[in-house]
Amino acid sequence: MKKPLATITATASYLPERILSNHDLEQMVETSDEWIVTRTGIRERRIAASDEYASTMGAKSALAALQKANVEPGTIDAIIVTTMTPDFLCPSTAALIQHQIGAMQAAAIDVQAACTGFLYGLSIARAWIESGAYKKVLVISTEKNSSFVDYQDRNTCVLFGDGSAAALVEDGGPGYAIRHICLGADGQQAALFTIPGGGSHSPASSETCSQGQHFMKMEGREIFKHAVRRMEASAKECLDAVGMQEADISWLIPHQANIRIIDAIAKRFAIADERVVRTIQKYGNTNSSTIPIALAELDREHAPKEGENLLLTAFGGGLTWGSAIITKVSS
């Protein structure tokens, strides 16, 4: 009996209409377009409307992916949502999306691994497919960062944008075969990126609100030090696991957090500039959805060829990190 092969058979993304440019931010906080572009590579980002949420954006990208694959929502076995900006602490954003898209036969869970979330979600989907537990799994990464950004803090407000993307994972078929995924974490460095208020450790109160504890807090320089090293190590681990060399990589899709991190990873793996997928200049850091947004854009605009290998690699709060190798297949 043929062993199931987990394959991404369709991808789609959703970006809100509103654009917040660097010039707009100049009117809101002490910063400049030159300062932002030089240090991050970001020129603009998308901001969700007041009636758009992680769930509604995720539902839109999910439905687009299902339409692309010609798959009915009622045939989906499971929904995995990766987000660090959920609609609510409870219920799960996955359950909300399940209802919104009409996938009433699907199990639904949220996964929180910050910016590495998509790779964590993809690893779960792969395990479910290849174990035979499920045949059709939706992995949806969706973030409304604007709800958790302090627009008076120039160190964070210039970085983040909103958006979502979805990937349908099935047992075989044309698309991107998931060859291997490597994941890691280091909770000792948890304080480098946090949303301190609102959980059981620091429940919401007038004090947590007045102290801005419900906004993202990050130590950018320290995170940078870890990011390149961890992403490089996990990527090499992935390549070794499938017996590939660096020259076998056709496309690099790194987490879109900072142009310097992206360029450093590309240089370390000697990947040509035109083979590095960059969306950071348009969308900023959309946390767990950066990689699937970039994958959907690559698939739509460049259509990788049969046999081409894609390296996905990410790093995020937790700290978490991971890499994946996926290969374009026709069946």
Which residues are known catalytic residues?
115, 255, 285
Give the CA diameter of the chain. 63
Could you tell me which residues come within 8 angstroms of residue 60 by beta carbon, excluding any fewer than 6 positions away? 14, 164
Could you tell me which residues come within 8 angstroms of residue 188 by beta carbon, excluding any fewer than 6 positions away? none
Q: 3-class SS at 242? A: coil
Decide: 84 and 149 in contact? Cβ < 8 Å.
no
Q: C-alpha angle 315/320/324, rounded to 5°?
A: 60
- The DSSP bridge partners found for residue 47 are 18
Q: What is the DSSP string of 163-198?
A: EEEEEEEEESSSEEEEEEEEEEE-GGGGGGEE--SS
φ and ψ at 212, to 5 degrees?
Answer: 65, 30
> Taking Cα atoms as reference points, which of 285, 290, 152, 142 lies closest to residue 215?
152
Q: Is the peptide bond before 319 cis (omega within 30 degrees of 0)?
A: yes
Enter the tokens of residue 200: 């059981």
Residue 71's identity, in one-letter code, is V
